[in-house]
Structure 1
Amino acid sequence: MTRPRPETHALSTGHEVAVPLETEAEATALVVTADAERVGERLPDGLSPVRVAPGRAAVTLLSVEYERLGDDAMAPYEEFGVLLAATPASGARVPELGVLGNGLGGYVATLPVTTEPARALGEEIWGYPKRVADVSITDRGGRRRTAVGDERGHALTLDAPCRPRIRWTVATESYTGDGSPERQPLRLAGAFGVRPFGGSYSLGRHPLAERLRDLSLGRVLCALAFDGRFVIGRGRPLSL
């Protein structure tokens, strides 16, 4: 299988990046349950929620610290994402632990980042719903704490174990867009960690926190950790 030829994109910030974009990143995530009907209402036509129990779907709260982007195309940055676990097929139920392989993919509902070049990168190339915000990541005693907010206040805090030890490669997809959704191929290769029912989260008083409350978030299914190479390819229409 041949690799796609890189395409160079010029951003409004003056940066140039090649796609597929190869990055080095550390990430932690919590996969939590949510109301399946409400998750389905947030998804565009063509996508269905991944169900983990009767009436319950999965949502990933994702924290990422990018250490390198391409050939140092721009400065490193931090990112937080809300990803709704979804499938292009009719939303069949899967075992609760069966959703873990897609914990780092899904429909991207929001993606706050810490720099303007990072916002332009995701929005202008892939259509990710990015905005500049405060994403503070701190490590202590094998755990990673992520606090997210902006001038409107504190949105949420994640606390997750951060001990990636198992070498693995994962291929998954993210989805963006409303009327004509697209899929972006993702490939992660490096050290992973999984802890069932590990980690915790708390919501603040912020518009993002209220949107998450509206999903009726529930218990943590698992905590994920990753440290390695993350590649994102060019987006394609969902129908292809």
Structure 2
Amino acid sequence: MTMLPRRLRDQTGRHALVDGIPFTLPVHSERTPALMAAFPIDADRAAVMLPGNELHAFRWRGHGLLVVTVVDYRVTSIGKYIEFSIAIACTRGRRPAPPLLPLVFQKTYGLGQYVVDLPVSTEVSVKGGKGIWGMPKHQASLDFVIEEHAVSSQYDLDGRLAMRIEVEQPRGLRVPLFNLPAANYCAFRGMLYKSYIYFTGHLGMTLGGAGKARLTLGDQPRMRALRELGIGSDPVFTAFFPSTHGTLDDHYECWFLSYDRLPVQQPEGMESVVNLGLGETWPESPHRDTAATPRTR
């Protein structure tokens, strides 16, 4: 059992107004289903995608991990929306972490995931997630479909398929988890942000298994870099939460991203969020019959 930080518990019932967004504290979600799948990738190619010099690709049996997590936020502090996270499992430190130890000593090795892409359904989620926590959010067409034997989600952008994830519903007992912590690393404004979220719910999980999940990359140009990762067809693990309670920590850490040479390209900054409003309107649902290319291997 993990306890929420004392600071978050002491804030219960208090209110905040940040960038025009009203929050009831702590920032939370309720009755929220979520799916997750991790696929093996080329760890060396993944390392190239990680910014700065402090993040390192987490290695599992010689491979890196691409982690796809889709959360159907039904009740939150800023309304309902879907969030489709595409991330690379990583550690943070002066040098790469040894194998497996980060799973046991998560804080010591800064275990988390670097979020490569994070489409969401609503404008207000972009404004809050990017402007406050530095998350690479942008609005896109998303869905979340729960069927008897499978759960799936599709991500379309500008009328083109970006990604589709399908996960078989795990069989057997569901493991109760209480305030399971997770750390997200994100790049914004030339800085590295680390934020924290805590999930409570019953987890159904499957380790390995051919055909337990299917990841499809579409022809959306935003997926071009992911094609270079050599994504495996069979997942390392899959998971499904029928319902969760989540708490997003209002505390985050932030560092300058540094490089051997001065970057020549200006990173995305506050100009991308300063004029955003509090809209909760969703784009049109994805077109499930959109032609897709075979999944990358």
Residue of structure 2 equivalent to 1:145: 152
Q: Say whether residues 1:194 and 2:200 are aligned partners.
A: no
Residue of structure 1 equivalent to 2:68: 61
Match of 1:129 among 132, 136, 148: 136
Match of 2:175 among 166, 179, 182: 166
- State how far apart, in whole Å, the 1-side matches of 2:195 and 2:252 are: 4
Residues 105/67 of structure 1: CA separation in 2 closer, same or farther (3 Å cut) = farther
* Superimposed CA distance per residue, residues 133-175 of structure 1 (whole angstroms, 9 cap, x where no aligned partner): 0111111113111111121511111101345821113112111
**SS in structure 2 of the partner of residue 128 of structure 1:** coil
Give the letter for the 2:64 counterpart. A
CA RMSD in angstroms, aligned pairs only: 2.5
- State how far apart, in whole Å, the 2-side matches of 1:189 and 1:42 are: 31
Residue of structure 2 equivalent to 1:230: 246
Query: TM-score with structure 1 length normalisation?
Result: 0.85
Residue of structure 2 equivalent to 1:91: 96
- The structural deviation recorded for 1:180 is 2.9
* Superimposed CA distance per residue, residues 106-150 of structure 1 (whole angstroms, 9 cap, x where no aligned partner): 111110011111111211110100110011111111311111112
- The structural deviation recorded for 1:50 is 0.4
- State how far apart, in whole Å, the 1-side matches of 2:88 and 2:215 are: 16
* CA radius of gyration, larger in: 2
Residues 83/207 of structure 1: CA separation in 2 closer, same or farther (3 Å cut) = same
Give the letter for the 1:91 counterpart. P
**SS in structure 2 of the partner of residue 82 of structure 1:** strand
Give the unaligned 5+ runs of structure 2: 257-297
C-alpha contact 1:51 1:91 (8 A) present in aligned 2 = no
- State how far apart, in whole Å, the 2-side matches of 1:105 and 1:20 are: 22
- The structural deviation recorded for 1:18 is 4.5
Give the letter for the 1:92 counterpart. A
Give the unaligned 5+ runs of structure 1: none
- State how far apart, in whole Å, the 2-side matches of 1:210 and 1:17 are: 36
Segments of 4+ moved more than 4 angstroms:
none
C-alpha contact 1:19 1:232 (8 A) present in aligned 2 = no
Residues 92/105 of structure 1: CA separation in 2 closer, same or farther (3 Å cut) = closer
Match of 1:215 among 218, 229, 233: 229
Match of 1:182 among 188, 193, 218: 193
Residue of structure 1 equivalent to 2:83: 79
- The structural deviation recorded for 1:19 is 5.7
Give the letter for the 1:67 counterpart. R
Give the letter for the 2:182 counterpart. T
Give the letter for the 1:88 counterpart. R
Residues 40/18 of structure 1: CA separation in 2 closer, same or farther (3 Å cut) = farther
* Superimposed CA distance per residue, residues 69-126 of structure 1 (whole angstroms, 9 cap, x where no aligned partner): 13xxx2201110111101113333535xx59x9xx95111110011111111211110
Residue of structure 2 equivalent to 1:8: 16
**SS in structure 2 of the partner of residue 117 of structure 1:** helix
- State how far apart, in whole Å, the 1-side matches of 2:184 and 2:245 are: 16
Residues 23/39 of structure 1: CA separation in 2 closer, same or farther (3 Å cut) = same
Aligned residues: 229
Residues 112/225 of structure 1: CA separation in 2 closer, same or farther (3 Å cut) = same
Higher strand share: 1
